[in-house]
Structure 1
Amino acid sequence: MKPLEGLLVLDFSQFLAGPSAALRLGDLGARVIKVERPGSGELNRQLSIKNRMVDGDSMLFHTINRGKESYAANLKDSEDLESVKRLIKQADVLIENFRPGTMEKLGLGYEAVKELNDSIVYASVTGYGGNGPWKDKPGQDLLIQSLSGLAWLNGNAEQPPVPFGLAVADMFAGAHLAQGILACLVRRGRFGQGGRVEVSLLESALDLQFEVLTTHLNDGGELPQRSAVNNAHAYLGAPYGIYETAGGGYIALAMGSVIRLGELLECEALAAYQDPKSWFTDRDDIKRILVSHMRTRTTAEWLAALEPADYWCADVLTWERLFAHEGFQTLGMVQQIGRPDGTGRLRTTRCPIRINGERLFDDRAAPKVGEHNAALEQQFQLRNAIPEQGPNGGDGNRDGA
C-alpha cells in the first residue's frame, strides 16, 4: 500500500509547478483528478518541447501529468461549476496556480471552498506571492531565475548572467508545495483541521539560494565574486569547478586540499599555495594552473590517480554515457507509460522516492481531455445529484489523512 492511497486530489493547476506537486502526490498513492477546460484542456497540452507531441498533446504535458484522471468542466458555466463543487466536497486536497484573484472570481477561493469542505487542504502556487508590486507579473521560470539572482550567480565572472538549463524555480516550487500539503495532511490526521498552503516561484528560488544568501547577509553585505576561471560556486575556493582533460573529456573537482591535489596530480606549481586562505584569494590563479595541467591526461587517467585517494572528483557524463553506465541502470529510473488502448506510450522517469525499500512506479499515461467525465460523474454523483449532508452541511468527508 502506498502512503497516500485513499486520498483524493483535485488538480486545477497548469504548466509545471502545481502539476508537479500533484504528480508527486499521485506517485505516493493519491488519486489525482485534473480539472481542465473542455476541448483544449490545460494550456500545457500545447506547450511543446522540441516540437515533440504525443497523441496531440505536448510531451511535457505527458511527463508531468502521468497517472492522473481528467474531468473537463467550464468553470464559468453554472452547471459545470456545481458539478465541480460537488467534487470538491469529497476531496482531500485542491491545488491551483492561477494568477492571484482568479479562483476567487470563479467562486472557488479558499474561503468559499472551506465553506464546502472545511477539512480540505487548499494549495496555491503564484509567481511572486499574493500581493506586492510584482503579483500580476507572469510567473515564468526564466523570469524568476532572472529576478531572484539565480542567473547572476552562474557563469564565469566576465560572462553575462547564465540561466539554468531547466525550469528549476518551477520544480522547487512544486516540491515545496507538496511538502506543505503533506504537512497539513499530517496535522489534519492528528487534529481534524484542514488548511491553506501557499508557495511562490520567487520564494522557492530564493530558498534555493539559502546557503549563499545567508553568507551574504552575514558578511557585511559583501557580494559574492564569480570566479573568472571555471566558476561553479561563487563562495568556494579552488579547485572547485569543471576542467577539460585530454581527448575532449571533462572532470569535476570539488572541495579539497590544493596541496594534496598537487601531489596526486604531480603538479608542482600547486605547492606554492600552502595557506588554505590562498585557495580562495588566489582562486583564479590556481584554477589557471589546473586548466593547463588537466589537459595533459585523460579523464580516466586523472580519476585513476584521484579516486583511490578519496579525493572528491567525478567524470562529467553526457546522457548517452550516463544511460549506458551500470550505476544509472541499477537505479531503474526509467519507466514505460501508456494507455490501455496502446496510445500515449513513452518512456519517462519514475518517482525518485522509495518506501520501505520499494521503488514507486506508475505506468499510466496522462489522460485525454475529459477522458474520465462519465465515470467520475457516475461515481461521485456530480450531475443532478442531491448531495448527502455531512456534519458541516456538505458531503460527508473522510476523516483525517
Structure 2
Amino acid sequence: MMQSDGFGFGTQIRKSPYFDATVRWGAKAFSVYNHMYIPRDFGDPEQNFWNLVNDAILCDVAVERQVEITGPDAAKFVQMLTPRDLSKMAVGQCKYILITNAAGGILNDPILLRLAENHFWISLADSDILLWAQGVAVHSGMDVTIGEPDVSPLQLQGPKSGEIMMAMFGESIMDLKYYWLREVELDGIPLIVSRTGWSSELGYELYLQDGSRGDELWEKIMAAGKPFGLQPGHTSSIRRIEGGIIYYHAYSEIYTNPFEVGLGRLIGLDMEADFIGKEALRRIKEEGVSRKQVGLVIDCAPLQGPNTTFWTVTKDGGPIGKVTSAVYSPRLEKNIALAMIVVGSSELGTQVEVMTASGPAQARIVEIPFYDPKKSLAAS
C-alpha cells in the first residue's frame, strides 16, 4: 500500500476521513480545496468520465466543508447571506444558492441544506465562508450559533447510483426527490443523504457525521457498488464543462456578479427580506452587465487536459475576454470551453480566436450547457 505520507503540502492542509482509502484505491495526485486534499487523479481522466456517464463513481468531496447555522434567528440570518428567496424552503430541502458581498460579487456558490426549522448547513465551494458568516453575525443583532460540524460528504454519481443506493438503503430511498435530503444510517454509520451532486448526472451526496468511520463507509459503498461497476473517481472536469457548471475561482471571484454568469434567476430582488448586496444587485440589473459567460467550441487538436491558466480570447486582433475552463469532450468529440466575454462580442455564432497552451486557435460562441441543457439526467 502506498503510504499517505507520500503526499505532502504540510500539516496545514487537512486530510479527509477518506484520504487513506482513496490512496488505497488508486488516487495518484491531489489538489487543495478549502485547505484540504482532494483526489484529482485516478489514472485516466477520460476513463473517469466514461465511468461516470455509463456506470457510477465514488468521489471524496469532504472538501465541501459545512458551515452550520443554528439558533432562533437561523432562518433569518441565512436569508441575509443569500439573494435567493428562501421563504418557501421546507425542512428536508436543499437549494443551490449564491452568497454575495455588499457590491453584489459572488463569494461562494454552495448547496444549502435545511435539516430542521432552525438548523442549516451551507455545503461550500472553495472559499472561507465560515469566517464570513461569523463576521457578519457579530454585528447582526441576531441570535445564531455558527460553526463547522464533523461532517464529510462523499459523492456517488452516475446512472447506476440509484441502484447502488437501493442496494444499501432499500427501495424507500427511491422516494428521495431531486434536491431533498434524508437522515439515514448504514450499519450504524450516521449519514445525511441528498439527491445532489456536481456532475449533471443522477447522483447522491452522503454526508458522514462521524469522521472516525470514513474508511469503513468508503469500503461499504465500494462493496455495495461492485456488482454495478462502481469505480473510485474524481469530479469530472469534462462533465462539469459539458453541463455548463461554474467553478468558483475559475473566474474573477468576488468581482463577478450573478448576472454575468447567467444566474440572475437566483436573485430575489422583489422579496421583502433584505440580504447583503441587494441594492448593488438591483443597480447592476438596471444598468446591465459589461461582460457575460458564454460557451465556446475551439477548433484545434484535442486538448490534453483542462487549461491551467486563463486563455486570452480575441476578436479582430483585440482582446475581448478570457477562457475560464476548457477541455476536450470525448462524447461530443469537440474542444469545449466556458469564457467570460465583453457583451458586445458575445452573440451566438461569433467567430473569435483563443490563445491556447499550444498556440492560437479559431473558436465560435455557442449555447451552454453543451449537453443535456435541461438537466433531465440529474433530475430523473
TM-score range, shorter chain: under 0.3
Structure with the bigger percentage of strand: 2
Structure with the bigger percentage of helix: 1
> RCO greater where, 1 or 2, for CA within 8 Å and sep 6 or more?
1
Q: Which has the larger radius of gyration?
A: 1
